[in-house]
Amino acid sequence: MTDIDGNAVAAEIRSGVADCVETLQAEGVDPALATVLMSDDPASETYVSMKQNDCEEVGMRGIHVDVDNDAPAEELYDTIDDLNADDGVHGILVQMPVVDHVDTRRVLRSVNPAKDVDGFHPENVGRLVAGNPRFKPCTPHGIQRLLASADVDPEGKEAVVVGRSDIVGKPMANLLFGRGEGGNATTTVCHSRTDDLASHTRRADIVVAAAGIPEFITADMVSEGATVIDVGINRIERDGESTLVGDVDYDEVHEKAGAITPVPGGVGPMTRAMLLYNTVKAASEQHGVEIELP
């Protein structure tokens, strides 16, 4: 029924981040986010430029490094080393996926954990799982904020995460069942190979759809009044036109759900806002300057 407005909540976060940028700058710290792109995925360039625009909006320095897709993998590893060594760079994001001849795991463990604003470094993954996160991964963190904005407290509720990716499904489940604000849910992780998926999702008060399959979650799979969070961003052809759809069949499900996130304008803008959040947090911690995070 109710749309959860990701653009509006993200704008509030950005405004709070802009205040943090000012505080840091007044203390002589000019927070900076570096994005690195070595990818042949057509959407990646758009996403990276959106992230750079976001930096500009909050008054943060944005640095972008393009590594030639045909360059040897070493060039990407060297780029990361240089950014790690640069005290003027506080956050580093290597856009995923990287080209095939690069070892993704090596990339993830190469980023200095203190600058790992994605939260993908094994040390930061370990800290999240241990219940002591340094950087909460941007998409699941953004989803926690969206739930709070809709006055949905997961505590004691049944949450079902559909999808088990390292970027969304796994950290989302950890945050939902973990202790603390936005957690304490009874959490089930399902995926595309779950038998009788609908029997699980129908029991859920909160469904997080992150399987990467267009319109996978249909109305018969959700209970009346459930909160439905759509993480999918799928570009498909429909009626001869290219359109963006989520992992949820929105037209069907929004009649039945209590609250639902649209695509676009739901989770996506929040992912980008929490990246800015993590970057000012990184700058604050690297320089020992206190800020009031939004």
Ligand X SMILES: Nc1nc(=O)c2c([nH]1)NC[C@@H]1CN(c3ccc(C(=O)N[C@@H](CCC(=O)O)C(=O)O)cc3)C=[N+]21
Binding site for ligand X (CB under 6 A): 46-47, 50, 93-96, 118, 138, 233, 244, 263-265, 268-269, 271-272
| CB-CB contact of 183 with 137 (8 Å) | no
* Minimum distance, C-beta of residue 3 to ligand X, in the bound complex (Å): 12
- Residue 52 annotated to the active site: no
CA distances to 16, 169, 232 from 191, rounded to whole Å, are: 35, 9, 14
**Which pairing describes strands 227-230 and 259-260: parallel, antiparallel, or unpaired?**
parallel
> Which distant-in-sequence residues (6+ apart) come within 8 Å of 278 by Cβ?
91, 117, 118, 119, 135, 136, 138
Is 51 a residue of the active site? yes
Binding site per annotation, positions for NADP(+): 163-165, 233
For residues 95 and 188, which CB has a smaller minimum distance to ligand X in the complex? Answer: 95
Closest approach, Cβ 124 to ligand X, in A, equals 13
Minimum distance, C-beta of residue 265 to ligand X, in the bound complex (Å): 5
* Residue numbering of the annotated binding site: 163-165, 233
Query: Smallest distance from the beta carbon of 10 to ligand X, in angstroms?
Result: 8
Q: Toward ligand X, which CB reaches closer, 162 or 197?
A: 162
Pairing status of strand 234-238 against strand 241-245: antiparallel
| Residue 281 annotated among the catalytic residues of the structure | no
Q: Shortest Cβ contact with ligand X: which residue?
A: 268
> Residue 244's closest CA among 229, 260, 232?
232
* Identity of the residue, 21 or 233, whose beta carbon is nearer to ligand X in the bound complex: 233
Q: Which of 54, 95, 136, 256 is catalytic?
A: 95
Catalytic residue among 54, 115, 116, 118: 118
Measured from the CB atom, the residue of 160 and 168 that comes closer to ligand X is: 168
Of 132, 145, 82, give the one whose Cα is nearest residue 111.
82
Q: How far apart are CA 170 and CA 275, in angstroms?
A: 18
Task: Determine the Cα–Cα distance for residues 270 and 41; give it in Å rounded to an integer.
Answer: 22
**Residues with catalytic function:** 51, 95, 118
